[in-house]
């Protein structure tokens, strides 16, 4: 299985475990909230019942206070007591109705119905006695017995409700305690299971990822230090870590091959350098006899052939240089003779140049004379002076 698939499966399982923990925690929390709501509801019912119970006693007390005030002739106190009977009767019904509106157990609701019936009888009797106190105190005192009987009946009904509420409260307390213990145990179990599962995931991550990475890091450190003898254990896994290890193994093999090639190349360079040093010293008999690696064997053979050809070439050059030296002596003698002839010819050339300069001077002088004669002729022609022959002989005869 690929590492990515394992991580996805582990993440999904971890999410499922987390959801289970959240679900159990939420369920227990809701049960605790429901238990608290039930206890709070029962507390409200008990509070209303206690208020009603106190008003139950207060109504009877107000009736007796009205009778006492009538006997003393205190009309104001009598009327105030009668008004209290009416107010207390209204309030006690309010508390009773509030309890009947609550979502209580069915047996408590039945008891509250009985209380409501007995309360009507009790408040009716109290109101009757209170009203008679104002008009007929004697009759009112006679009705007190009925009031006491209604009081006892209502008190018995209220005791049933109180007992039912106490029983319900005890049951709620017991359930709350059990629920608290159950919640703690469930939370502890789920937390331990989640922690155990998380620990298992960490162990698997260490086995699948951390340990292979540690081994790979150690092998890479050895490779960086130049130690390529340590074999990389790829194993049979097909995950990403195995792919990385195979890549490192390929790199290790390539590094080994490159190092072997560099070593072979270094040996080739060393032998070639030794051969070139021998050639630089004039040792043309040096040959490379140690075999090279297959890829460099042609280079060794080429060097040996080149060294042999160079030796033959230098031998031919030595022979040719001897012939060139002999020919150069003859050429030097011919050059000396040619130089002497050139010197002689140069002397004749200088003399010829001097003669030509003289001829040029004469030509220039003749040109000047010719110009003068031409000028004289032009002058004579313009003046038309008769010219007498210098002699009677023909011109050619006069010419010296």
- What is the DSSP code (8-state) at residue 282? T
Residues 112, 96 contacting (CB under 8 angstroms): yes
When pLDDT is cut at 50, 70 and 90, the band that residue 146 belongs to is: very high
pLDDT, one tens digit per residue, over 6-52 is: 677 777 887 887 788 788 788 878 888 888 888 899 999 999 999 99
For residue 395, the model assigns a pLDDT of 42
pLDDT, one tens digit per residue, over 274-331 is: 878 887 887 777 788 778 777 778 877 787 888 787 878 877 777 777 776 676 777 7
Contacts 24+ apart (CB under 8 A), 33-39: 35/172, 35/175, 35/176, 35/179, 36/176, 38/172, 39/169, 39/172, 39/173, 39/176
Q: For the residues 59-87, what does the mean pLDDT come to?
A: 92
Q: Match domain 3-215 to its CATH number in 1.20.120.30, 3.40.800.10, 3.20.20.140, 3.30.70.100.
A: 1.20.120.30
Which one has a higher pLDDT value, 192 or 334? 192
Q: What is the DSSP string of 48-112?
A: HHHHHHHHHHHHHHHHHHHHHHHHHT-HHHHHHHHHHHHHHHHHHHHHHHHHHHS---HHHHHHH
pLDDT, one tens digit per residue, over 359-398 is: 777 777 777 767 776 777 677 666 554 545 444 445 444 4
Q: Model's pTM, two decimal places?
A: 0.48
When pLDDT is cut at 50, 70 and 90, the band that residue 217 belongs to is: confident
pLDDT, one tens digit per residue, over 88-113 is: 999 999 999 999 999 888 999 999 99
């Amino acid at each position: 299985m690929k590492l990515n698939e394992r991580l996805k499966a582990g993440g999904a399982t971890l999410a499922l475990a987390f959801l289970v923990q959240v679900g159990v925690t939420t369920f227990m929390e809701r049960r605790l909230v429901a238990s608290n709501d039930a206890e709070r509801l029962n507390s409200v019912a008990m509070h209303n019942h206690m208020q009603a119970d106190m008003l139950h006693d207060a109504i009877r007390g107000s009736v007796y206070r009205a009778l006492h005030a009538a006997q003393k002739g205190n009309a104001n106190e009598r009327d105030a007591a009668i008004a209290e009977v009416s107010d207390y009767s209204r309030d006690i019904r309010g508390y009773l109705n509030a309890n009947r509106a609550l979502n209580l157990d069915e047996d408590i609701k039945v008891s509250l119905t009985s209380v409501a019936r007995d309360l009507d009888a009790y408040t009716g009797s109290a109101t009757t006695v209170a009203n008679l106190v104002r008009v007929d105190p004697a009759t009112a005192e006679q009705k007190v017995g009925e009031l006491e009987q209604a009081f006892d009946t209502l008190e018995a009904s209220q005791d049933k409700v109180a007992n039912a509420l106490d029983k319900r409260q005890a049951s709620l307390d017991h359930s709350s305690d059990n629920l608290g213990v159950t919640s703690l145990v469930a939370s502890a179990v789920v937390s331990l299971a989640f922690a155990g599962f998380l620990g298992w995931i960490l162990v698997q991550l260490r086995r699948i990822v951390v340990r292979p990475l540690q081994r790979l890091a150690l092998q890479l450190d050895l490779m960086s230090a130049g130690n390529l003898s340590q074999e990389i254990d790829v194993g049979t896994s097909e995950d990403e870590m195995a792919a990385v290890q195979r890549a490192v193994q390929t790199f290790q093999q390539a590094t080994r091959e490159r190092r072997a090639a560099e070593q072979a190349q270094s040996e080739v360079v060393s032998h070639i350098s030794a051969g070139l040093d021998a050639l630089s010293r004039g040792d043309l008999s040096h040959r490379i006899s140690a075999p090279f690696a297959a890829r460099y064997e042609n280079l060794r053979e080429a060097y040996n052939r080149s060294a042999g050809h160079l030796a033959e070439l230098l031998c031919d050059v030595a022979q040719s240089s001897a012939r060139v030296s002999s020919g150069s002596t003859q050429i030097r003698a011919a050059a000396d003779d040619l130089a002497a002839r050139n010197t002689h010819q140069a002397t004749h050339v200088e003399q010829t140049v001097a003669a030509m300069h003289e001829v040029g001077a004469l030509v220039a002088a003749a040109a000047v004379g010719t110009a003068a004669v031409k000028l004289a002729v032009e002058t004579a022609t313009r003046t038309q002076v008769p010219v007498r022959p210098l002699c009677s002989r023909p011109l050619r005869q006069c010419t010296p």
